[in-house]
Amino acid sequence: MENMKDIPELFGSMVFNDETMRLRLPKDIYRVLKKTMREGTHLELDVANAVANDMKNWAVEKGATHFSHWFQPMTGITAEKHDSFISPVGDGKVIMEFSGKELVRGEPDASSFPSGGLRATFEARGYTVWDITSYAFIKNGTLCIPTAFCSYSGEALDKKTPLLRSMDAIDKQSRRILKLFGNTSVRRVLPTVGPEQEYFLVDKDMYLKRPDLAFTGRTLFGARPPKGQEMDDHYFRTLTPRVSAFMKELDEELWKLGVLAKTKHNEAAPAQHELAPIYTTANIATDHNQLTMELMKSVAYKHGLVCLLHEKPFAGVNGSGKHNNWSLASDTGVNLLEPGETPHENAQFLLFLVAVIKAVDDYQDLLRASVASAGNDHRLGANEAPPAIISMFLGNELTGMLEAIESGSVYRNKKKYQMEIGVTALPHFPMDATDRNRTSPFAFTGNKFEFRMPGSSLSVAGPNIVLNTAVAEVLSQFADSLEGVKDFNAALGAIIKTTYGNHKRIIFNGNNYSADWVKEASRRGLSNLKTTMDTLGAFICEKSVTMFAAHRVFSKAELQSRYEILTESYCKTLGIEALTMIDITKGEIIPACIDYQNELALLLERKKNCGGYDTSLESFLLGQIAGLSTKLFENLKTLENAAMEAKNEQKTDAQAALFGSKVLASMSELRLTADELESLVAKKYWPLPSYADLLYSVI
């Protein structure tokens, strides 16, 4: 783009957004549509027809030829099926048509999407329904309609449906609370989300020589390079021309789609980068994050790069996360997690704050489960990533204040301070940069929480569904006990005090990366669920089933199906990793070791034949490589057996347990041997680009 003044014009140019609707739709249609959006009611067919027609005309003007319902099945990525607008009118001619029915509802054959047993193949039809709160957009010449995806009997088969349900739940419960504070003008409370996205960029040619990256997204082999991230010289470093060109194009493509791409910089590990958008509502943020990941991949490819979104593409260097910044906003523009100015606002803030504290403590296992994946298992607890223990950071000021409230004592900062709920205001407590704990998995950062556990490839729908519903649950408990009380301030004070007292074990302001914290957390009775299979049970336990059912977010059957899909996906991921490792070992590493041994042996023999030469180097190397190669062969057999045993196990839970124990352990063993061989075998024989090649080649 030549002229930077064009950005406001470029922004959202491929989105059928509010402004476009206002300009293009007949006034009465626009009004009805807005009302439907606000109230989440049903869209009448005549309105849908009018909207569809204008939407199609707009899309065709922009060069679109097709439309697609764009949805988010349980695969973790998005799905689309393109239909052209053409409709025959006789004489071999066509016109471009798009009906309200086509806009609002689609019926894709759903049999190839994971359903976790919710839908038998003989009733394979699913249907997609327009999520009217997320705008349609044009991508690659196709008008994409963001949709929810359900089975014919209405069960959620995707990530959007439960997210929207959870948004309704937290809206309803938040407004009950706001009403108690006399606020009846708020018509909608929305969770807001800003997901910071980390990723790696590697050179395409290098990538193509790494089948492990291609098949599994992470390196299954690779000796540590002489230089990793120990110099701390990549974070915020000047962007190289190639990376800079990539980021520029990515920004522009995202802006066209209305994605609020804001911040970009180099991250801590070599070849690692980050993009952060400006926050928006949870469902739009989720849609936009999916688009961001998709565009990161396609734009990188155009630049001769490959974008890696795996949580841990390289052992020994930082993994990639997706910090989920989360807060609650009213449609009147108030951030409910922002301390206010008046005693009244502060009391309300404190109530929402302790609701989040209780929700995170009560549902820590579920929150941990919401970020579980085979990939994230490698990241959590390693190199600058939060451990698998959920805790919250509030900062010393806020913690001090809550402590004082709990003990009924005077809070001492610069001046002594006695807080009476609903009567006195909180002392001003700015959250400055020094009062930020980067090691905390769930940190309060002044007016929002930053959940740092999600891995980089995860859809943010999952953690936000859990957060929204858990907080809605606690708010409903609060509302139940506060509605109708005589002395509101006293009851409020009591709730804040007891809730904090009962749940403060979840608050930890220290260093989450330290070994001491692991011990301390265990003393406090906090969970430390290290691997995916330790966590997934949290989805189907009685407590979760009851909570999700109470707020109509998931039925028991839907939870069970998600449990099964996640377990299966865990098994499949590890199955593919094991097979890839076996293939590379047999097809590339063993032959390379043989070739190099052959060269050494030949030289050894020639030297011996000539007589008088020192052969200590060749003998030593040959001995080492021969020994390690034999060990590698043993490791290979062990892995093959373990993988076979796991594959043959019929029960999914038992299969997952085998993958998580035996298979993973055999893979680690094999890798150790292979990495040692890499450091001995001549580079020209080693078939895989090294870590140094991958991490330092994009300049």
Of residues 192 and 457, the one with the C-beta less far from ligand ADP: 192
Query: Any contact of residue 490 with ligand ADP (CB under 6 A)?
Result: no
Q: Is 64 exposed, middle or buried (0-12, 13-18, 19+ CB in 10 A)?
A: buried
Tell which one of 178, 276, 360, 688 touches ligand ADP (CB under 6 A). Answer: 276
Query: Any contact of residue 196 with ligand ADP (CB under 6 A)?
Result: yes
Query: Any contact of residue 352 with ligand ADP (CB under 6 A)?
Result: no
Kind of pairing between the strands at 189-203 and 280-281: antiparallel
- Least distance between ligand ADP and beta carbon 24 (Å): 30
Query: Any contact of residue 251 with ligand ADP (CB under 6 A)?
Result: no
Site string for Mg ion, 6-25 (x = CB under 5 A): --------------------
Residue with nearest beta carbon to ligand ADP: 194
Amino acid at residue number 304: G
Of residues 190 and 688, the one with the C-beta less far from ligand ADP: 190
Query: Any contact of residue 447 with ligand ADP (CB under 6 A)?
Result: yes
517: nearest Cα among 390, 395, 401: 390
What are the b/e assignments for 104-117, b being 16+ CB within 10 Å?
bebebebeebbbbe
Of residues 210 and 452, the one with the C-beta less far from Mg ion: 452
Helices 616-648 + 590-610 axis angle, to 10: 160
Query: Any contact of residue 330 with ligand ADP (CB under 6 A)?
Result: no
- Least distance between ligand ADP and beta carbon 174 (Å): 14
Distance between CA 425 and CA 404 in Å, rounded? 14
Of residues 82 and 265, the one with the C-beta less far from Mg ion: 265
- Least distance between ligand ADP and beta carbon 273 (Å): 14
Query: Any contact of residue 448 with ligand ADP (CB under 6 A)?
Result: yes
Site string for Mg ion, 318-347 (x = CB under 5 A): -----x------------------------
Pick one of Mg ion, ligand ADP, none as the site partner of residue 437 (Cβ within 5 to 8 A by kind): none
Of residues 277 and 441, the one with the C-beta less far from ligand ADP: 277
Distance between CA 666 and CA 472 in Å, rounded? 44
Tell which one of 49, 229, 445, 567 touches ligand ADP (CB under 6 A). Answer: 445
On whether the CB atoms of residues 384 and 463 are closer than 8 A, the answer is no
H helices present in 146-186, as ranges? 160-180
Of residues 12 and 321, the one with the C-beta less far from Mg ion: 321
Of residues 310 and 323, the one with the C-beta less far from Mg ion: 323
Tokens of 279: 């926050």
Stretch that binds ligand ADP, among 37-45, 193-201, 289-297, 366-374 (CB under 6 A): 193-201
Q: Who contacts 279 (Cβ-Cβ below 8 Å, separation ≥6)?
A: 192, 193, 194, 260, 285, 325, 327, 448
Query: Any contact of residue 451 with ligand ADP (CB under 6 A)?
Result: no
Tell which one of 67, 199, 326, 596 touches ligand ADP (CB under 6 A). Answer: 326
On whether the CB atoms of residues 565 and 116 are closer than 8 A, the answer is yes
- Compute how many residues bind Mg ion; rule: CB under 5 A: 1
Query: Any contact of residue 325 with ligand ADP (CB under 6 A)?
Result: yes
Distance between CA 121 and CA 494 in Å, rounded? 54
Stretch that binds ligand ADP, among 128-136, 175-183, 273-281, 347-355 (CB under 6 A): 273-281
- Least distance between ligand ADP and beta carbon 681 (Å): 42
Residue 386: other Cβ atoms inside 10 A: 23
Of residues 333 and 611, the one with the C-beta less far from ligand ADP: 333
CA 289 from centroid of its chain's CA atoms:
9
Residue 406: other Cβ atoms inside 10 A: 16
Query: Any contact of residue 335 with ligand ADP (CB under 6 A)?
Result: yes
| C-alpha to C-alpha distances, 513 to 63, 520, 587, nearest whole angstrom | 52, 12, 40
Of residues 227 and 438, the one with the C-beta less far from Mg ion: 438
Tell which one of 193, 201, 479, 625 touches ligand ADP (CB under 6 A). Answer: 193
Long-range contacts of 213-216 (CB under 8 A, 24+ apart): 213/306, 213/308, 213/313, 215/576, 215/580, 216/310, 216/573, 216/576, 216/577, 216/580
Kind of pairing between the strands at 189-203 and 322-330: antiparallel
Contacts to Mg ion by CB under 5 A: 323
Binding site for ligand ADP (CB under 6 A): 192-194, 196, 276-279, 325-327, 335, 445, 447-448, 450
